[in-house]
Amino acid sequence: MFVLSTRSLSTRFGFVNSAIATTLTQRNFSDGRTLYQNNFTNSIREVSNVIKRRFEDGKMARIAKPAPNWEAKAVVGGDVKTLSLKDFASKYLVMVFYPLDFTFVCPTELIAFSDRVQEFRDINTEVVGISCDSHHAHIAWDKIPKNQGGLGGIKIPLIADLKKEITRRYGCLFEETGHPFRGTFIIDDKGTLRVAHINDTEIGRSVDETLRLVKAIQFANVHGEVCPANWKSGDRTIIPDPKKSKEYFAQLKDDK
């Protein structure tokens, strides 16, 4: 007979809650052995489902795939709240990873996004900043005036990824230093990751370019056409068809 104990389940699948294993019905036989009854198969299926969910939760971010879910404490308008990716369902989301609070390029970026956050919200988009600092550090930094290197009352949420789980999942962790690179990820209103840009720590980002990318994604989603290089709202787009695309290319001038 095959005997599976609670301990063996916990040992072999350390991330499976041991409570699952204890749900297996036991029957004591005259010889003192403990065997599991007919619901063994159902219980193993339950264990398998937990394992599957864990692997799905821990998956790495990939373009054109569902964005990995996350949940963490965040500073929102000076208050501490728990936010998750699910809170932004049916919206576009720009995730702005940055290295550290109380640094140099970081406040310039976060303030730039904060100052123009209404432009994002006008197109059904939210922006969040993410670092591996604690929410206490976020609050302290936000209270410092802008002219002293602080954020001075930022208008976007700051996620506290203290365990670095989100940063790792999105491929942004600078392992040698333990803090994020400057990563910009755009998730569409269906929860699909559409843009993943990662800059080295010394290189600040452009709010204009981020807005342009969101608008380009939205245009492509609605119209089914593709946006050429340097496209901005109102510019011509391309019908992704070998014949119909010639209408766009016909306007281009050949270099002489």
Contact 232, 214 (CB under 8 A): no
Report d(CA 173, CA 192) in Å as an integer. Answer: 21
Closest CA to 214 of 97, 91, 100: 91
Identified catalytic residue from 106, 132, 172, 227: 106
Contact 39, 20 (CB under 8 A): no
* Three-state SS at 101: coil
CA 227 to the chain's CA centroid: 24
End-to-end CA distance of the chain: 83
Tokens 């206490």 locate to 136
Q: Where are the beta strands (DSSP E) in the chain?
A: 26-28, 34-36, 71-76, 79-84, 92-97, 125-131, 158-160, 173-174, 179-180, 182-187, 193-199
106 given a catalytic annotation: yes
Report d(CA 205, CA 183) in Å as an integer. Answer: 9
What are the residues whose beta carbons fall under 8 Å from the beta carbon of 46, sequence distance 6 or more? 20, 23
Gyration radius of the chain over CA positions: 25
As annotated, the active-site residues are 106
